[in-house]
Amino acid sequence: MMFYSKGDFLLGATYEYPIQLTEAGEYSFWFEAKDINGAKVLTEVATLTVLSAAPSLPVITQAPEVSISACYNYPNPTYNGMTKIRVEFSATSTLQVELGINIYDVAGEIVLEVEPMKKNISSDYNIEWEWDGRNGNGKQVANGVYFARCIVDDCTKKTARLIKIAVLK
């Protein structure tokens, strides 16, 4: 029998979860912590590789991860309402991820939601979206400040970056 222990930062408690491993193989564990309001504050994925079912120490490997290394748009302010949003990703190995982008106004209302796309990402990967300054109904947005939220979801965690876009006509 093996135990996983995780300290509780607020209460100082330790939780142990017994895991019965009866066969050699690879086991993945997903841990999620939520704050008092139920919002996700931590998601961790661990992969445990058991080389044999005999009592021995397993080899623990790091789960593949993807992150947003940079996110920006150009030109900023926009030129004739057009701008390109560039997102640069880095991954520890090849992963299939879902990439998405949402545009918001200063009140936090969604202006445009781009249909997420699935991509295979390995090591460094870049993608650009062109925004023509139109909302989800196809109408040109007014001059002002907007925010783009760039999201990458690798099925174990979501990572997002927020950038500011100035729209001038």
Q: Is the pTM of this model over 0.85?
A: no
d(CA 13, CA 32): 16
Domain around 80:
66-167
Residues 83 and 143 in one domain: yes
Residues 53 and 84 in one domain: no
Euclidean distance between the first and the last CA atom of the chain, given in angstroms as a whole number: 66
Query: In the listed set 35, 62, 89, which residue is the last one of a domain according to the structure?
Result: 62
Query: In the listed set 42, 62, 82, which residue is the last one of a domain according to the structure?
Result: 62
Bridge partners for 148 per DSSP: 103, 163
List Cα–Cα distances, 43 to 31, 39, 98, 155, in angstroms. Answer: 6, 11, 17, 11
Q: Which residues contact residue 25 at a Cβ distance below 8 angstroms, ignoring those fewer than 6 apart?
A: 49, 50
Q: What is the pLDDT of residues 136-161, one digit of tens each?
A: 999 999 999 999 998 888 777 788 88
Residues 39 and 95 in one domain: no
Residues 76 and 119 in one domain: yes
Query: In the listed set 62, 77, 102, which residue is the last one of a domain according to the structure?
Result: 62
- Which is nearest to 150 in space by CA: 58, 98, 87? 87
Reply yes or no on whether the pLDDT at 83 is more than 90.
yes
Residues 45 and 114 in one domain: no
* Burial bucket for residue 105 (CB in 10 Å: 0-12, 13-18, 19+): middle
Q: How many domains does the chain have?
A: 2
Contact (Cβ atoms closer than 8 angstroms) between residue 40 and residue 34: yes
Tokens describing residue 97: 């991820």
Residues 54 and 100 in one domain: no
Q: What is the pLDDT of residues 93-142, one digit of tens each?
A: 777 788 889 999 999 999 999 888 888 777 778 888 899 999 999 999 99
Residues 72 and 149 in one domain: yes
Bridge partners for 110 per DSSP: 104
Q: How many CB atoms lie within 10 A of CB 43?
A: 13
Residues 25 and 83 in one domain: no
Residues 28 and 41 in one domain: yes
Q: What is the CATH number of the domain that holds 101?
A: 2.60.40.10
- DSSP class per residue in 132-149: -SB-TTSPBPPSEEEEEE
Tokens describing residue 95: 């992963």
